[in-house]
Amino acid sequence: MSDSRAPFHRIAIGTDHGGFEMKNRLVAFLESEGHPVIDCGTYAGDPADYPIYAGRVARAVSSGLADAGILLCKSGNGVAMVANRHAGVRAAWAEDEKGAALTREHNNANTLVIGSEHLRGDLIGTVRAWLSTPHEPGSRHGRRVAMIDELDEVQVSALPALRLIQATASPWLAGVPAELADSENFAPFIARHHLRGATAGRAPLAAEVTSNPEHWRSSIRRLESERLDGEALAQALYLQHVHKVADALASTFARTDGDEGLVAVHVPIASNATAEEIVADARNVVGTLERPNTIVSVPALPATLEGISALASEGHSILLRGIVSPRALDVALNAWFDGLAVRTAKDQAIHTQRLVPSVPAATLREDCQLEGLVSAASALLTTMNRHAKGRRYNDLALSGAALPRMAWDCEGAKETGVELAAALFAPLTIQIHDTDFFEVPEGALDSAEHPLRDWLTRSTKSDTAPSSDIEQLQRAVPAELCKREADAAAELTAAIKAVLQN
């Protein structure tokens, strides 16, 4: 981890034949400066394989046996590649004193790499500069080094959420419990499981207000004093919950430049809504959010797909719920790119906007069975990849457009294998609704009997079509999401009225 000083005392040093003479000079110098030296070889000038000696140094640094390492070879490239595959090692190449100092100041490098054929400065001066330069963890450079350190935690952890990150999935907590968001445990929960985002729903909030009215009474009374009642009061309480979740993820949003730390906010939409009504509802919600890391969440109705272009052209980000068919995804992506193109034509920024099409993985599995889920997932990914490689997106990318990122919504999933397999089908975002998932014992997912093994095998072999009508399912799923969101809004309003009446 980051230190505000150069904490190096015991130094491990290693090289192949390309840096043998330099190594001998450095061992003598380091010992003269009072540094205990672990000489990891090579011990002669004969041809030697650099991975052996770079690995020895890297293991010494990674394990804590050495405070720091120095690696040499002719180019410096090979030993650096080996070292940086070890947890906790930050190996950086330098060719002179200035470069060596910057690897400490900016990168908190704990292993210095020198290419004997590319060294421009003085060897001893370069190493001395590296040893004497401190790193400041409170600076912007310290924040970036902390992001590197987080990758180490991911690689060595067996916690379920971190295993998802290993599969390049971005774990979100869907339907954040209001009790958790209100507690002092939420920030540690996010840090422990490296949550990358969340969705904030009304249904969990309504359930908690109903089950624990005393906890919510003061907040509801305070909102009532602002002359709010009925649906307006319910919306205000919901937005308070959204803001708490968004604030807890704000640091993730900031340090990833808006790629992560997003919170999706649901917009209730009637099944017969027009595109204009959907856009208006979304605008109203966006106007009340007051947090830069919130994005509007809407069901993927035909009217919504039509309205995406307008929302994108106005600078909004969208989570599109209930995408099942490749055709619906294709329409959504084209509409999104249409909206971004309008903005670029006006020289307006698009780099902060995000589109997240969300696929109900558990619903697909239930309706299409396992083979159908694999086939549907493959078809959706094919559509996404075609757009990602297309000229239209590439042109927009030059203006800063982020690639839309698929999400797998695992609501209703009963097995951890469903979540994990879905993440591997679309390694971008996965929405997990059950907080218990995150508390599976470390190492439990390593079992050879775990469903993930079977799912991975099947995913590489299935070419069969889904067993149900995907287009029919595409019409049914978003309509059901609309109904559920409307019911949740009504339940929250009723729960608040009950609190006020007692």
pLDDT score of 448: 37
Question: Where is average pLDDT lowest: 102-106, 222-226, 334-338?
Answer: 222-226
pLDDT score of 439: 55
User: What are 472-500's pLDDT values in tens digits?
Assistant: 888 888 888 888 888 888 899 998 898 88
Cα angle value 43/46/52 (rounded, 5°): 60
Percent of the chain with pLDDT over 70: 82
pLDDT score of 367: 77
73 catalytic per annotation: yes
Output the CA–CA distances (angstroms, integers) from residue 393 to 396, 424, 435, 480, 493, in the order listed. 5, 24, 36, 32, 43
User: What are 177-208's pLDDT values in tens digits?
Assistant: 888 888 889 999 888 877 889 999 898 899 99
> What's the whole-number mean pLDDT along residues 295-301?
92
Nearest-CA neighbor of 153 among 190, 193, 186, 188? 193
Question: Which one from 40, 73, 368, 410 is the annotated catalytic residue?
Answer: 73
pLDDT score of 499: 86
pLDDT score of 160: 47
pLDDT score of 352: 86
Rg (CA), the chain: 27
Q: Is the confidence at residue 130, as pLDDT, over 70? A: yes
40 catalytic per annotation: no
Q: Is the confidence at residue 465, as pLDDT, over 50? A: no
Q: Is the confidence at residue 314, as pLDDT, over 90? A: yes
Q: Is 1 exposed, middle or buried (0-12, 13-18, 19+ CB in 10 A)?
A: exposed
Q: Under DSSP, is residue 1 helix (H, G, I), strand (E, B) or coil?
A: coil
User: What are 2-54's pLDDT values in tens digits?
Assistant: 343 457 888 999 999 999 999 999 999 999 999 988 888 888 888 888 988 89
pLDDT score of 290: 84
Range 251-254, long-range pairs (CB < 8 A, 24+ positions)? 252/190, 252/195, 252/196, 252/197, 253/292, 253/293
Nearest-CA neighbor of 162 among 191, 185, 198? 191
Question: Which one from 106, 135, 194, 433 is the annotated catalytic residue?
Answer: 106
What is the identity of the amino acid at 68? A
Structural domains present in the chain: 11-138 (3.40.1400.10), 159-501 (3.20.20.70)
Task: Look at 184 and 157; give whichever has higher pLDDT.
Answer: 184
> What's the whole-number mean pLDDT along residues 457-475?
60
Q: Under DSSP, is residue 428 helix (H, G, I), strand (E, B) or coil?
A: coil
* Torsion angle of the four alpha carbons 252, 258, 261, 262, in this order, in degrees rounded to the nearest 10: 160
User: What are 408-448's pLDDT values in tens digits?
Assistant: 787 765 544 444 444 444 445 556 555 655 555 444 444 43
**Neighbouring C-alpha atoms within 13 Å toward the C-beta of 470:** 24
The residue whose two tokens read 């079977």 is 454
Contact 173, 198 (CB under 8 A): yes
For the chain, give the number of residues.
Answer: 502
Percent of the chain with pLDDT over 90: 31
Determine what percent of the chain falls in helix, strand and coil, rounding each to the nearest 5: 55, 10, 35
